[in-house]
Amino acid sequence: MAEPLRSSTDPHVPSKTTLLESRWPKLALPRVGLVAGPTPLERHEGLTRATGAEIWLKRDDLTHPFYGGNKVRKLERLLGDAIAQGADTIITTGAAGSHHVLATAVFGKKHGLAVHAVLVPQPASEHVTLDLRAMLGQGAELHPVSYFASVPAATAALLAKLKLRGKRPYVIPPGGSNGTGALGYVEAGLELAQQMLEQRMPEPDAIVVALGSGGTVAGLAVGLAAAGCLVPIHAVRVTARGLVGRAFLLAQIRGAIERLHASDDRFPRISGVASDLYRIDEDELGEGYGLPTPRTREAMRLGDEHGLHLDATYTGKTFAGALRLVREGHEGKKLKRLVYVHTLSSAPLRPLIEGAPSIPHRLDKLLT
């Protein structure tokens, strides 16, 4: 097995000025500093040799040394907004092993916010169980429901209960995906475009990224469009069809742009360009969310052989999509060079689980 990728324990000092703020100096949108400046963009030699195409990794697994992944970028803006609005409590939602809920628990606690999460069932796996334990370890209060359809009512009831108790709750949508959360990936899009220039990377054929609740794709599309970098985004669907479609993505794209434009009217209104930049890959979802296909497992195996740890729910399917583009191509054209955005935290989970209670029976129904 190859050496694992460089770990996320490098010292991180949160960057003071974002690319957004430096390019549009009038921008004044709330943010807490979590992401320590640019995450690396690296050509992966082993995967390049193994696949015959240039594989570059955008290392968003390294967004934070305690817990990395894509959610950290969104939470910079969402927690910033919550604190600016005077909130003391966060309510959010996700599946039993949700990386978004775990990240919210970690960084909400770090900023003195209580975190409540309405959780829906997910196919059981060791990874999901560890995430759930880590949520408990971080002190999140977990409220299980049986179906996704029950989430709005459960959230409304929790909101009312917390307000009656004198709390000031702020609701973050599933996956942290709305116009505010997407701002974190607008920054990532600008960052990626700048790195490609600085590193003199020849233009890739595609940027491959997971499509879950959509904030990552929506923000990335806006950031790349704002930078004038019109590389197609290949968005690999990993959550059920129907939950997140083009209309929802457009709402997030517009939401992010409206916030930026309202704060600095020189930020361009580019929702059309951003929407044209991505395409949705429907071919890796298989039987559904959290259920790996043979191609997912093959991608995970190849990743492991080259020190790239992938999960079965998001990144395994996404990387499988990248491999398919190399082998079979897109619209008859095999891809020769791509950037895979690695959105899964590579920080060790153990420290987050230390002292965590075992999973109480009332949460049993979350692991199907």
Q: What DSSP character marks residue 115?
A: E
Rounded to the nearest whole angstrom, what is the least distance from the CB of residue 68 to ligand PLP in the complex?
Answer: 10
- Rule CB under 6 A: is residue 69 a binding residue for ligand PLP? yes
| Of 8 and 343, CB closest to ligand PLP | 343
Q: Which of residues 94-113 bind ligand PLP (CB under 6 A)?
A: 99-100
**Number of C-beta neighbours around residue 133 at 10 A:** 19
Among 63, 92, 296, 343, binds ligand PLP (CB under 6 A): 343
Among 75, 344, 347, 352, binds ligand PLP (CB under 6 A): 344
- Calculate the alpha carbon distances from 82 to 135, 260, 334, 350 in Å: 20, 17, 45, 28
- Rule CB under 6 A: is residue 189 a binding residue for ligand PLP? no
The whole-angstrom separation of Cα 217 and Cα 138 is: 28
Amino acid 310 reads L
Cα angle at 145 between 121 and 282, to 5 degrees?
A: 45
| Of 122 and 177, CB closest to ligand PLP | 177
Q: What is the contact mask toward ligand PLP in residues 297 to 336, using x (rule: CB under 6 A)?
A: -----------------xx---------------------
Q: Which of residues 207-226 bind ligand PLP (CB under 6 A)?
A: 210-217
* Residues with Cβ within 8 Å of residue 325, at least 6 apart in sequence: 205, 206, 208, 234, 334, 335, 338
Among 108, 173, 175, 290, binds ligand PLP (CB under 6 A): 175
Count of residues of this chain found to bind ligand PLP when the rule CB under 6 A is applied: 18
Location of structure tokens 């959550």: 239
| Of 24 and 180, CB closest to ligand PLP | 180
Rounded to the nearest whole angstrom, what is the least distance from the CB of residue 27 to ligand PLP in the complex?
Answer: 22
SS3 56: strand
| Of 24 and 187, CB closest to ligand PLP | 187
Q: Which two tokens stand for residue 346?
A: 């590579």
SS3 108: helix
The whole-angstrom separation of Cα 115 and Cα 118 is: 10
Adjacent-strand bridge partners of 95: 120
Q: Which residue's CB comes closest to ligand PLP?
A: 212
Q: Which two tokens stand for residue 247?
A: 């209309």
The binding site for ligand PLP (CB under 6 A) comprises 69-70, 99-100, 175, 177, 210-217, 314-315, 343-344
